[in-house]
Amino acid sequence: MSPAGTITLAGKTVSRLGLGTMRLTGPGTWGPADDADAALQLLRDAVHELGISHVDTADAYGPYTVEELIRRALHPYPDSLLLATKVGMIRPAPNQWRPLGRPDYLRAAVEASLCRLAVDRIDLCYLHRVDPGVPLVDQVGELMDLTAEGKIGAIGLSKVTPEQIKEAATVAPIAAVQNCLNLDEPDDPALRYCATAGIPYVPYRPLNAGALAHGSLGEALGWLLGLGPHVAPIPGTSSIEHLRALVDACDQRLTDGGRA
């Protein structure tokens, strides 16, 4: 069984419950995981034991270390696995993030991610953040050029408004939108827009960076899944026990007859 049922994302049918990997780093989302062996095992168990077939990462996580970790853990990748990564963010220091959307930089970042992940094509590549200093159509246009070259399978956007989604869609099909959404931060106008436009919506920080993990996981995840079949959350964790609890909460919701 796929956790929380399935969704079609970037042309693949995958589990609606994905795995976010930002926590597989050191403090400040900087450097490698404190326990690399445990991180490798978590990735393997998520995919091979728990049925998660959507793994989300970014070149900025570490930076670079999580993409390498995913390759070590999962390559050669199962055909059923959707690998999503993000480009367009640089890391000057721990806990510091800065958008950089120059087309030449985005192209170099995609080429580097291809090497770290050991793939010829990235299934789903997000623009990690919109760089306000570069026209959005130029940023998305470069990703579209890379799609035409076969280096990207589908393009996503992260932390965007409906207006930005509309603008980006004038130059490329948008396969997914990844914004923050959870019970503590429940308002995002892009959620409804994506439902209307037929775009999968991938909530990051679905447990509010762990703040909701101490209550009912079923309630927190159930609320998200109940917002529509286009919603596919990507909780992150460095604990396999926590990940199993998340999967169990989704399975229980399906068993109880909840819509997923």
pLDDT in tens, 33-82: 999 999 999 999 999 999 999 999 999 999 999 999 999 999 999 999 99
Pick the closest to residue 51 from 255, 238, 250 (CA basis). Answer: 250
**How high is the pLDDT of residue 209?**
66
* CATH number of residue 146's parent domain: 3.20.20.100
202-257 tens-digit pLDDT: 999 998 866 665 567 778 888 999 999 999 999 999 999 999 999 998 877 666 65
Describe the crossing of helices 36-44 and 240-255 by its angle, rounded to 10 degrees. 20
Asked if 113 and 124 touch (Cβ cutoff 8 Å), the reply is: no
Q: Give me the amino acid identity at 140.
A: V
**Count of domains observed in the chain:** 1
pLDDT at 87 over 90: yes
Report the Cα 192 to chain-centroid distance in Å. Answer: 19
Q: Is residue 1 domain-resident? A: no
Residue located via tokens 């770290």: 116
**Average pLDDT of the segment spanning 106-128:** 98
Backbone φ and ψ for 223, nearest 5 degrees, come out as: -60, -45
Q: Is residue 260 domain-resident? A: no
Show the 3-state SS of the chain.
Answer: CCCCCEEEECCEEEECCCEECCCCCCHHHECCCCCHHHHHHHHHHHHHHCCCCEEECCCCCECCHHHHHHHHHHCCCCCCCEEEEEECEECCCCCCCEECCCHHHHHHHHHHHHHHHCCCCECEEEECCCCCCCCHHHHHHHHHHHHHCCCECCEEEECCCHHHHHHHCCCCCEEEEECECCCCCCCCHHHHHHHHHCCCECCECCCCCCCCCCCCHHHHHHHHHCCCCCECCCCECCCHHHHHHHHHHHHHHHHCCCCC
Domain that holds residue 102: 6-255
Instruction: In whole angstroms, give the CA distance from residue 110 to residue 151.
Output: 8
**How high is the pLDDT of residue 1?**
65
**How high is the pLDDT of residue 219?**
85
Residue 188's DSSP bridge partners are: none
User: Which residues are known to be catalytic?
Assistant: 61
How many residues can be counted in the chain? 260
Q: Is residue 55 domain-resident? A: yes
pLDDT at 258 over 50: no
Q: Is residue 133 domain-resident? A: yes
pLDDT at 133 over 80: yes
**How high is the pLDDT of residue 49?**
96
**How high is the pLDDT of residue 98?**
98
Q: Is residue 197 domain-resident? A: yes
